[in-house]
Amino acid sequence: MSNNLIKISFSLNGARVETEVTPQLTVLEMLRRNFRLTAAKEGCGKGECGACSIMLNDHPINSCLKLAATLKPEDRVISVEGFSEDKLMRNIQEAYVEEGAVQCGFCIPGMTMASYHLLKHNATPDEHAIKQALSGNICRCTGYRKIEAAVKKAAERTKANE
């Protein structure tokens, strides 16, 4: 192990946290090892599959490509766990279950993150907008149609509950 530990401080799921990381530790590895937040997953490790998607300052990023040491005190990181009380995320998660969109489940934390970002910015997305919003997320069970149906359902339910 390296002895070059770097102290970082940032906001994680709404709380201010401090931790120590090695230079090459990614945000994904940090979340899983230092904080035991295991929703975000490593699929490809190259930024292609989106299973590691998290929010950084309200924008989804691939946490497998962001070095934890580059996090700044003003950065706000939110993982799926941070949305557990969030109404929109609950609607999304429930719709995923109801539509049978979850098969092996590995891609789902990333999928729901991308869905959340879409519905935050577009309450009534059409099919094209949904496909585009999920284009950075890969499901190898190939359940895309059910996933798209779930996003549509979550959008309708969120709008109806307003």
Partner 1 sequence: MNNLQFIRPANVQAACEALKKPGFMAVAGGSDLVVKIRNGLYPDLEGLVDIGDLAPLNLIRTDENRVIIGSGCTMHQIISDRLMQDYFPTLVKAASTVGALQIRNSATIGGNVANASPAGDTIPALYSLEARVLITGCNGTRKLPIEEFFLSPGKTKLETGELIEGFSLLLRKTRGDFLKLGERRAHAISKINMAVSTWNDGRDHWRIAMGSVAPTVLRCQEAEELLEKAVSKDDDLLNQAAELACNTARPISDLRSTSTYRKKMAGVLLKRCLESLTK
Q: Strand ranges (DSSP E) for 28-141?
A: 53-56, 59-62, 76-78
Q: CB 77 → partner 1: shortest distance, Å?
A: 13
The residues binding partner 1 (CB under 8 A) are 1-4, 6, 22-24, 26, 45-48, 50, 53, 56, 59-62, 64-67, 69-70, 72, 114, 117, 132-133, 135-137
Nearer to partner 1, 59 or 162 (CB): 59
Q: CB 3 → partner 1: shortest distance, Å?
A: 7
Q: Strand ranges (DSSP E) for the chain?
A: 6-12, 15-21, 53-56, 59-62, 76-78
Nearer to partner 1, 100 or 135 (CB): 135
Q: CB 102 → partner 1: shortest distance, Å?
A: 21
Nearer to partner 1, 55 or 155 (CB): 55
Largest pairwise CA distance in the chain: 54
3 exposure class (CB count in 10 Å sphere: 0-12, 13-18, 19+): exposed
Q: CB 1 → partner 1: shortest distance, Å?
A: 7
Nearer to partner 1, 18 or 48 (CB): 48
124 exposure class (CB count in 10 Å sphere: 0-12, 13-18, 19+): exposed
Instruction: State in Å, rounded, how far the first CA of the chain is from the last one.
Output: 51
